Amino acid sequence: MLDRERKSTFIAWTRRGETPEQIARMIFAYVTDFSARTGAGPWEAIRNQWDGTLQDLARIVRERVLTDDSGIAHPEGGYSLGLSSHDDRLNTKLSANAGETEILPFLTSPSLVHTFFASTLPLRLLWDASIRAGVATINPAFAYGQDRTLKRLARRERREN
């Protein structure tokens, strides 16, 4: 059986300088779509209290602006956001960085990493749900590479079972 302790989907897209509201809409749509496909939820914000609404998610994104060592905000560096969902079937964490308007040496591209921990759900279902949610809500450009990876892992999983 394939080790499912920690598997993830990585989604990257072109730098677009998204506003906190646009980032919140994108991530809210992603978790809504993923949850509909898998039954995941409820979601919680990491490091912040979140009431589950789109408006409050935008507030959290605004508060998570990139800052320098002295605490000065640099919106041109973008925003970060972390969400998690835990139940007896799936523990999952989502980390997103987006909104960059300039190239920074320590941040290559806007991205979302969705990690699955200790799931009783089939890995294929989790990845399929995350890819479909990503294509529907973020950007279809990443899907081809992920699809190849999924097919390779599925073949390996069949051989191991």
| Within a domain: 30 | yes
pTM, to two decimals: 0.79
| Within a domain: 1 | no
> What is the domain range of residue 150?
6-160
Residue 139 dihedral angles phi and psi, to the nearest 5°:
-170, 130
For the segment 20-33, the average pLDDT, to the nearest whole number, is: 94
pLDDT confidence of residue 106: 59
| Within a domain: 155 | yes
Taking the CA of residue 31 as centre, how many other CA atoms within 13 Å lie in the half-sphere pointing to its CB?
A: 28
Tally the domains of the chain: 1
For the segment 62-74, the average pLDDT, to the nearest whole number, is: 91
Report the range of poorest mean pLDDT among 8-12, 49-53, 84-88: 8-12
High-pLDDT (> 70) share of the chain, %? 82
Two structure tokens written together for 30: 């992603």
pLDDT at residue 4 is higher than 50: no
pLDDT confidence of residue 149: 63
For the segment 113-123, the average pLDDT, to the nearest whole number, is: 85
Is residue 150 packed enough to be buried (19+ CB in 10 Å), middle (13-18) or exposed (0-12)? middle
pLDDT confidence of residue 63: 94
Q: Strand order of the sheet with strand 79-86?
A: 6-12, 111-117, 91-98, 79-86, 43-45
| Within a domain: 150 | yes
